[in-house]
Amino acid sequence: MTPTRLALIGFGTVGQGFAEILAERGERLATRHGLAPTIVAISDFHRGSVYRERGFDPKELLGAADDLERLEADAKGWDALTTIRRSEADAVAELSFTDLTTGEPALTHVREALARGMDVVTTNKGPIALHFAELRALAAEHGAGIGVEGTVMSGTPTLALGAGLLASAGVTRIQGILNGTTNYILTRMEAGLDFASALAEAQREGYAEADPSGDVDGIDAAGKVVILANLVMDAPIGMADVERRGIREVSAADVAAAAEAGERWKLIGSVERAPEGGVRAAVRPQRVPLSHPLAGIGGATNACTFTTDLLGDVTLVGPGAGRLATGYALVEDLIALRGRR
């Protein structure tokens, strides 16, 4: 078992969830999965930055999460790039904030780490949706690995299923409920709320952000469709290739009319092989019959149906967000890159 020295760029919800998993299950990861990760550096814009050559106990990081520089360290105050360059880590977990327009600053972090031959694991959709082909080539060039399970459906192993286990079954179409916030809002509208009230409730419950456009306009789901298309179907599409409509246009009357017909509105992200070659990708609200494999997915749950040549439809249902669920995505990626199943 080779120890893995890890640098974390960002120590918000996901990074803390990951540290909690290491604190509680580190021994099992080592004995059963051959993975012994030690966090040697964290750089967080708000919480401070620390580097310690011999590593940190995950528990002490969690105890000092609001001000990391309280901890005894060999260096403090390094920015993200300095941390990547000087921490001598084997792998970098890129967990800074997501930007689906430029991919920055995460894109620069990921490029820097891969160019140095460091493995990268990330839950950050930005750089992956915008520049996956380039990053995959960069990783191959430098003998590095890149794990992105957490960019779609958090730690629910959607990419490992679609791009791994089902690869040889011939995936011809993917349809998913890939955004928990909009699914929560639509589920609440079925209970009688109008869009504005359901959105306000989602914001109170912490499912939606103050500016909800990333979710309700389908941008987040479109990013996931691009990632699924690239990884599972080898289709090199970008954000602009996704026909995109959000759920603002779905009215309480629409939801009621669907219910009367025994149907439901769902925001479905999809990508499928086109008869003319290439793929067609879309995110749009769809009225589906209750027999549809995604019709029963309620609340903040996510789901993804892979239509395959050999198995027909295979559907995976699981959490799309959450501290431990997303932190677990990093565990899966690290096991795949540096441990054993």
Residues that bind its own copies (CB under 8 A): 21, 25, 28-29, 32-33, 154-157, 160-161, 164-170, 290-291, 293, 295-296, 298, 310-319, 322, 324-325, 327-328, 331-332, 335, 341
Geometric angle at alpha carbon 69, from 63 and 71, rounded to 5°: 55
Q: Which is nearer to its own copies, 6 or 106 (CB)?
A: 6
Geometric angle at alpha carbon 7, from 4 and 11, rounded to 5°: 130
Q: Which is nearer to its own copies, 107 or 321 (CB)?
A: 321
Q: How far is the CB of 111 from its own copies (least distance, A)?
A: 26
Q: How far is the CB of 77 from its own copies (least distance, A)?
A: 33
Q: Is the dihedral of CA 261, 266, 267, 271 positive or negative?
A: negative
Q: How far is the CB of 50 from its own copies (least distance, A)?
A: 26
Q: How far is the CB of 22 from its own copies (least distance, A)?
A: 11
| Six-digit token string for 155 | 């730690």
How many other C-beta atoms lie within 10 A of the C-beta of residue 79? 13
Q: Which is nearer to its own copies, 195 or 207 (CB)?
A: 207
Q: Which is nearer to its own copies, 282 or 294 (CB)?
A: 294
Residue in 105, 101, 98, 66 with CA at minimum distance from that of residue 82: 105
Active-site positions?
224
Give residue 158's Cα distance to chain centre: 10
Q: How far is the CB of 199 from its own copies (least distance, A)?
A: 23
E strand or H helix at 107, and its extent? helix 106-115
| Six-digit token string for 233 | 């179907």
Contacts of 163 (CB under 8 A, 6+ apart): 231, 232
Q: Which is nearer to its own copies, 143 or 312 (CB)?
A: 312
- Which residues partner with 270 through β-bridges? 175, 282
